[in-house]
Amino acid sequence: MTTDTRTDAAPRRRRHLMDPAHPVRPVDDHALTNVQRWVMSTLAVFTIAHLAAGLVVAALEVPESATTARVGLNVIAGAFGVLAVAAGRAIHRRSPLSPWLLVGLLPTAVGLGLAFG
């Protein structure tokens, strides 16, 4: 007389299925976090920089008689440029206040040069 021990035991877990009783070992995610940080900062900086560039283009489309509007749009573009640099630094957990913020004023300088040059 042979007894089958498998009928009394728990069914064997298939390896391709997720099992809450046997979680997957944690992965060292330092490299993954670093990549995510770079992707996020790149997306944020380029998105805000495109907004600043759009404001410079809008300033060029304003009639020449409205110089206040041209200057105002270029100053707002520079503010968004500074915001883009600060956001990129903040995502990398660096102090947003640094000399790199001067790079954010580049849209203002370029826009004013194009508008009045």
C-alpha to C-alpha distance for 46 and 8, rounded to whole angstroms: 61
Contacts (Cβ under 8 Å, ≥6 apart) of 107: 49, 52, 53, 55, 56, 74, 77, 78, 80, 81
> What's the chain's Rg over C-alpha atoms?
28
Q: What is the pLDDT of residue 21?
A: 75
Contacts (Cβ under 8 Å, ≥6 apart) of 53: 77, 107
**The pLDDT of residue 29 is above 90:** no
Average pLDDT on 22-30 reads 72
pLDDT tens digits along 86-115: 999 999 999 999 999 999 999 999 999 999
Q: What is the pLDDT of residue 48?
A: 97
- How far CA 49 is from CA of 87, 93, 105, 114, in Å, comes to 11, 20, 11, 17
Q: The whole model's pTM is what?
A: 0.74
Q: What is the pLDDT of residue 3?
A: 56
